[in-house]
Amino acid sequence: MTDLNPQLNATPPADEAPRRGASAQYTVSSGTGAEAAMRQAMDPANQSLGEALRLSYRVLQVAILALVVVFLFSGFQTVQEGQTGVKTFFGRIVGAPGDEQVSPGLQPFWPYPVGEIVLLPQKDAVELNGEFWPRFKQGMTTVDQAAAATTPEDPIRPGLDGSLITADGDLAHVRIAAEYTVEDAVRTLDQFQPDALREIVRHALARGMVQTAAQFTLQELLENRDGPEQALRQRAQATLDSMKSGVKLGVVTIPEKIAPLAIRNTFSRVQEARENGKLALEQAQQEANGTLVGMAGADYAQILDLVQRYETELTRGDLAAADAVMQELGTRLEGATNVGQTSAIIARAQAYRTSVRATLGKEVGRLNGLAPSFRENPQQLVRKLWLDAVRQVLSSPTAEMLAAPDAGGPVRINIESSNEVMQARRQSEVQRRKMEAMGGNSVNFQLGSRQITIDEPGRRLDRSAQKGFGRD
């Protein structure tokens, strides 16, 4: 047996008080068997601890592997329809030249921060509602209300009321709406951050609108619809192209354009009067065209050109050229081509000429027959012709003969025509009106007062161009 604590059996010092004697002793027998027994007793605990550690290590390995897989797959991103973008590796755009843009669908890539898929809308729209628009007074929601509450003494407030300066020095207010498309996402994202693209487009539109307003007067800006919008689109696109933005503007509109509120009502009345004048002018032109087509046919412009050429030649004093133009004009008017009412007038004139020739032929023959008698005894011939005229008048069914008594005092006579005579007169009047309506002998070819001019070009009605106005 080995004493575990030899000091317990040592003799105490002389100066110490005597101690109580030991009541028990603990001894351990050393040897190979004891150590083996101790090791055998500790093996289950060591095994349990080792298995626990190995299990924890396995779980930790699986967790680390899962985190690595999740980290790697976190770079996978779905690109929606209507989106575009690029892949970046440590901030640098990667991809084959010309194929850097990503297409819609699932896109595998390195996870952030190693790699990133930067996306932005392929199409978008912006509006400029306050940059060039006045701020209404409190409680005013419409332009009419704001204009009614604004007086000429109310100034435009810089910094609060947006406005534009036009080419004639006036002020104008506009609102702008535009659509744009990202055609080259590589150039766009190489120059700008995705969140800044809308502001870049807005600034380009604002700059283009300032330049466009300086190109048009206030009236042109308000009344011309397509011109300012096209100019705005071109100038804004030029600004975006100069920045290599990769953005293409689509539809650009100016939905609202107004004059300053203080003068809007007055300016609206001026515009209304101008529009009414345009409408009246258009109506007058339509009526003039209708009259010309009705008178000279669809090719009236050619006839007017001949008339103007004729007057020009008369003004120059070239009568030979004027005669040639008159011949050409007469051929055109009397040709087979329909020239409107002019054809009808010429046809009536030709019929009248034929009738006059026939009538005058009879009169010429009659006068030739009376010429010898007139030379022999003119008084007797005149008396005979006068009696024949009286007989012809009295033999008319509409003539009535009245005999008055030969009394010395005044005579009062009440005349009442017979029914037969009144009926004959009515029939004669109806016949005369029919002849006038048919354009019979009522055609008058004399020059009107507006056609008679002195020392200026005029009209000649002679087909042969040998007589008439314009000849010495």
* 183 & 266 share domain: yes
Q: Would you call 323 helix, strand, or coil by DSSP?
A: helix
Residue 312 — φ and ψ, nearest 5°?
Answer: -65, -40
DSSP H or E run through 81: none
Domain boundary among 116, 145, 173: 116
State whether 111 and 130 are in the same domain. Answer: no
Kindly list the distances between the CA atom of residue 386 and the CA atoms of 159, 270, 368, 383, in Å, as whole numbers in the listed order. 103, 74, 18, 5
The verdict on residue 370 lying in a domain is no
Same domain as 164, residue 65: no
Shared-domain flag, residues 241 and 184: yes
Q: Is 399 part of a structural domain of the chain?
A: no
303, part of any domain: no
Reported as a single tens digit per residue, the pLDDT across 47-57 is 787 788 888 88
**Is 367 inside a domain boundary?**
no
Query: Residue 354: helix, strand or coil by DSSP?
Result: helix
209, part of any domain: yes
pLDDT, one tens digit per residue, over 381-390 is 888 888 988 8
Q: Is residue 169 part of a domain?
A: yes
* Same domain membership, residue 241 and residue 127: yes
Nearest in space to 72 (alpha carbons), one of 118, 117, 109: 109
> What pLDDT score was predicted for residue 76?
67
113 preceded by a cis bond (ω within 30 of 0): yes
- The model carries a pTM of 0.48
Q: What is the pLDDT of residue 15?
A: 55
Distance CA 220, CA 350 (A): 55
**17's tokens:** 């008080």
The domain boundary, picked from 116, 145, 174, lies at 116
Q: How many separate domains does the chain show?
A: 2
**In whole angstroms, what is the distance from residue 238 CA to residue 271 CA?**
33
Q: Which residues of the chain are modeled with pLDDT < 50?
A: 1-9, 440-452, 454, 459-461, 463, 468-472
pLDDT of residue 299: 78
Distance CA 62, CA 54 (A): 12
Residue 94 domain boundaries: 49-116
Q: Give the model's pLDDT for residue 8.
A: 45
Residue with tokens 């609060």: 160
Helix, coil or strand: residue 206:
helix
List, for residues 53-108, the tens digit of each pLDDT value: 888 888 888 888 877 777 666 666 777 777 787 777 776 777 767 667 777 777 76
Cβ count near 150 (within 10 Å): 20
- Is the residue at 430 inside a domain? no
Residues 55, 69, single domain; the answer is yes
Distances (CA, A) of 264 to 9, 148, 244, 352, 363: 124, 9, 40, 64, 78
Q: What pLDDT is stored for residue 23 in this prediction?
A: 55
Q: How far apart are CA 339 and CA 327, in angstroms?
A: 16
3-state secondary structure 39-68: HHHHHHHHHHHHHHHHHHHHHHHHHHHHHH
The pLDDT of residue 471 is 46
Amino acid making up residue 340: G
Whether residues 127 and 266 fall in one domain:
yes
Per-residue model confidence (pLDDT) at position 239: 95
Closest listed residue to residue 321, CA positions, set 448, 446, 457, 454: 457
Where do we find the tokens 């575009």? Answer: 84
- Same domain? 109 vs 128: no
Pair 150, 183 in one domain: yes
Residue ending a domain, among 218, 244, 273, is 273
In the prediction, which pLDDT does 337 show? 62
CATH of the domain at 229: 3.30.479.30
pLDDT the model gives residue 445: 43
Bridge partners (DSSP) of residue 117 are: 87
Residues 196 and 100 in one domain: no
Q: Residues 157, 68: one domain?
A: no
Residue 345's CB is within 10 A of a number of other CB atoms, namely 16
Both 184 and 160 in a single domain? yes
| Residue whose tokens read 């070819």 | 445
Q: pLDDT tens for residues 420-430?
A: 888 888 888 88
Indicate whether 184 belongs to any domain.
Answer: yes
Output helix, strand, coil percentages for the chain, rounded to the nearest 5.
50, 10, 35
